[in-house]
A and B are shown apart, each in its own frame.
Chain A
Amino acid sequence: MNMNLSKIKLPSGYLSKYGIFIAFLGICVLLSLTTPYFFTPQNILIILRQVSINGILAIGVTFVIIAGGIDLSLGSVLALTGVVAASFAHPGTYPLIVPVLLGIGVGILVGAVNGLTITVGRVAPFIVTLGMMTIARGLALVWSNGRPVTNLSPAFNDIGGGDLLHIPVPILLFVLVIIISAVILKYTRTGRYIYAVGGNENAARASGIRINRVKLFAYIICGGLAGLAGIVLAARITTGQPNAGIAYELDAIAAVVIGGTSLMGGRGSIAGTVIGVLIIGVINNGLDLLNVTSYYQQIIKGVIIISAVLLDRKNAQ
């Protein structure tokens, strides 16, 4: 198949740009042929709802990775912001805006601490966010006393399970995050600075870009979006779970990499990340529909992820 593709003369850059999208369509076609339950409007809506949490996380970490960093604390921040938001969301206590702002606020705070330690403290992002991974998990356990925070108001739960204009709220939030993020990265000066800093830090510094501020901005966006994702997750499962989101950062980072964003920084896009998120979501859903046993699911998932990226890289050459 690869040979055929390479023989066809396409406008240069066409396949490198759309390779991953073609892989995504391929997976969808394959699933449509193997199970009648895949390509139905209802199932597509379910997939979109299921991917929205990982999607919001992945978009946040896209900013950080393009800026040349990494964030391993996402899953723990998700749990921390979830339990904090949930404890202000009991029925008849605070208006809905309070848990929402607090959840996002705590996420921003964690992102700022990550960003400042990395820029001002000059510690490697991998180390800082690995440390934050256990700190945030510990804080979530301390805050909640190791127990899920239950009894949340219906209005709060609607953030995860409700509809607005017949569309599930998590999907609306995901789409909103996609649009805003794509605009920031593509059309603002800060967005261009993020690419510049990740691509070549020294050159960016020489041209007068304030590196630390740009990096801090990326980590704050990432933290804030992790906070939003934490709220959506808590609302979806109608509890704040201190042990939620374990290893969720791996799915988010996998989606970013599948989407063609370079782990070395400087290259990538929101559109790519969205495709990466959809690929992971479609695989999870499809393997359940086909009732593939859990042992094989893990193997198949890994193989598909690596193949998708391989196809993309081959075409990019």
Chain B
Amino acid sequence: MKFCSIFSLLITGYLLSGCNPGANQDGGKSIVVGASMLSLQSEFVVNVKDAMENYAGENGVKLIVNDAQRTADKQVQQIETFISQKVDAIILNPCEVEASSPAVEKAKAAGIPVINVNSETSATPDGFVGSDDEESGTIAMEQIAKLLGGKGNIVIIDGYMGQAAQIKRAIGAKRILEKYPDINVLAEQTAEWDRAKAMSLMENWIQSYGDKINAVFAHNDEMGMGALQALEQAKLKDKVVVVSIDAIADALQAVKDGRLDATVYQDAKGQGEGAVDMAVKLARKEPVENKSVFIPFQLVTKENIASFLK
């Protein structure tokens, strides 16, 4: 584990050297914001981080980004370090609902404003900018129900079992399934957010269920793309609907090409910028009208794909 922490220090140093601390506004002391991110190995989190860095750079804010590597314990340690560094505000992209809560409480006890970005903790922070993951599951499953005309057989590929995003996306999807008794879940299994694992899983399901499968719901685009490739290789894609969540670049292209039926867009830029904006306002003790900003998910289909492709 020591290796991991040494390495994350190196990475942090590398990221810091890329910042520009010289840009002071109003001649005063520039605001320093510490951010602990869920995992910089996740494309979506990297997009949020990039948006935060760009926005911070434009506004003369010094941003320190740490990677919590999906470990709540590490995340709490990073917040403790921010507290001893006396940063002006903290942005937390929580690893876990419960286990990351001490991070929020420690920051509040030290009198440093803390903003949760993207997902929630059971402890209440000073501000929240993010989306409700349940909504993404609801939107995706609603689209499947619509494309199937309210009846058919589906398979569900889960994210890593027990993680907040997996639990919430599953809850959102189940809520829609209750409305459609004629939609039958043939099988449900995790592929741990991994494209190769989802592809193998789908190949195996094609063996056991074959053309009985009418639709696939995957908890993220990586797994959706894996399922899509397995279906294409088995020459079944024309008969099966595939919908997943996140709107990563690859998935958007697949929607445009008519391969993926739909994905659900989560606004990384809006979340990243919103979080830094709120952090700066709270650090300067400026009034903030809305301390819980929910940025809605959006369904992406072939009809509206143009507005999502840059």
Contacts and interface: CB of A to CB of B under 8 A. Distances in A.
A288 B41 contact: no
Nearest to A141: B41
B195 A239 contact: yes
Interface string A203-240: 00000000000000000000000000000010011110
Given A46-B207, A134-B3, A237-B229, A294 B189 contact: yes
A237 B226 contact: yes
Given A161-B229, A161-B233, A242-B41, A289 B207 contact: yes
Interface string B219-242: 000100110010001000000000
Nearest to A284: B200
A291 B43 contact: no
Nearest to A168: B233
Contact of A294 (B3, B161, B248): B161
Nearest to B161: A294
B167 interface: no
Contacts of A145: 46
Nearest to B230: A46
Nearest to A38: B207
A308 B135 CA distance: 45
A113 B61 CA distance: 41
Contacts of B204: 46, 284-285, 288-289
Nearest to A131: B3
B199 interface: yes
Contacts of A40: 207
B208 A289 contact: yes
Interface string A284-296: 1100110101110
A123 B240 CA distance: 53
Contacts of A46: 203-204, 207
Which label, helix, strand, loop or mixed, suits the secondary structure of the B interface? helix
Contact of B194 (A53, A161, A244, A294): A244
Nearest to A289: B208
Interface string B194-223: 111001110111011000000000000010
Given A237-B195, A237-B229, A239-B195, A135 B207 contact: no
Interface residues of A, number: 43
Range of interface residues on chain B?
A: 35 or more
A141 B39 CA distance: 12
A37 interface: yes
Interface string B248-272: 1110010000000000000000000
A146 B43 contact: yes
Nearest to A242: B41
Contacts of A259: none
Given A146-B41, A291-B187, A295-B161, A134 B208 contact: no
Contacts of B97: none
A50 interface: yes
Nearest to B45: A146
Contacts of B187: 291
Given A147-B249, A237-B226, 6 more contacts: A40-B207, A46-B203, A134-B7, A236-B196, A285-B200, A285-B207
Interface of A: 35, 37, 40, 42-43, 46, 49-50, 53, 130-131, 133-135, 137-138, 141, 145-148, 150-151, 161, 233, 236-239, 241-244, 246, 284-285, 288-289, 291, 293-295, 297
